[in-house]
Amino acid sequence: MIDLGPAAAGPQPKNVRRLNAILSQLPAVREQLLVAMEDLAPEFDLQALVAAAKSPDARTRNKVAVIERQYEVLLNWLNEMAARTLAEGVRLNAIEKSSGHPWERLAALGAISKRSAARLQEAMEMRDELGHAYPPAAWRTLHEGVLTLLDELDRYVGGVVEWAQREGIMPTA
């Protein structure tokens, strides 16, 4: 992933410190999600996920719980990354304050594609549904959400960091 390096002169603003913390933790959480998926089923197919979620064995069900938790953590961090990057841009007068979902705002500013913004927002809504949905819909939702998140993760992080550095919102490494 991307390291923003030490502050050029003096302490970094809170948003940049938090962005650095997120960026430094992303690889480990992503790796944990990938390992959990592989431990469940090498191809991470829906049938294996459903079978594990319905298993009478708690250890097997815990494999699904790890996937769900790491999915939630990654989505929360990507959303926080968007919000803090935008907040820092506003603080620095690099961008104007506006309303809307953070990912839609980043797409409007050219940091990420509209397609990525829509897919990430959909993944976030799927994550929210997991807390309220009942099986088997929740398992299908988790499966689709994880695949969407992993497909967007690197492109999103790279795009946001590169854009924020070009705009002077984040320091360059």
* CATH number, residue 69: 1.20.120
pTM of the model: 0.87
Q: Is residue 122 part of a domain?
A: yes
Q: Is residue 94 part of a domain?
A: yes
Domain that holds residue 139: 14-166
Compute, in degrees rounded to 10, the torsion defined by CA atoms 55, 145, 4, 102.
-140
pLDDT for res 10: 62
Number of folded domains that form the chain: 1
127, 75 Cβ separation under 8 angstroms: yes
Q: Is residue 19 part of a domain?
A: yes
Q: Is residue 119 part of a domain?
A: yes
Q: Is residue 47 part of a domain?
A: yes
Instruction: Tell me how far the alpha carbon of residue 118 is from its chain's centroid.
Output: 13
Q: Is residue 153 part of a domain?
A: yes
Q: Which pLDDT tens digits describe the chain residue by residue (173 residues)?
A: 444 545 445 678 899 999 999 999 999 999 999 999 999 888 899 999 999 999 999 999 999 999 999 999 999 999 999 999 999 999 999 999 999 899 999 999 999 999 999 999 998 888 877 776 666 678 888 999 999 999 999 999 999 999 999 999 988 86
SS (H, E, C) the chain: CCCCCCCCCCCCCHHHHHHHHHHHHHHHHHHHHHHHHHHHCCCCCHHHHHHHHCCCCHHHHHHHHHHHHHHHHHHHHHHHHHHHHHHHHHHCCCCCCCCCCHHHHHHHCCCCCHHHHHHHHHHHHHHHHHCCCCCCHHHHHHHHHHHHHHHHHHHHHHHHHHHHHHCCCCCCC
pLDDT for res 22: 95
Whether omega for the bond prior to residue 27 falls within 30 degrees of 0, making it cis, is no
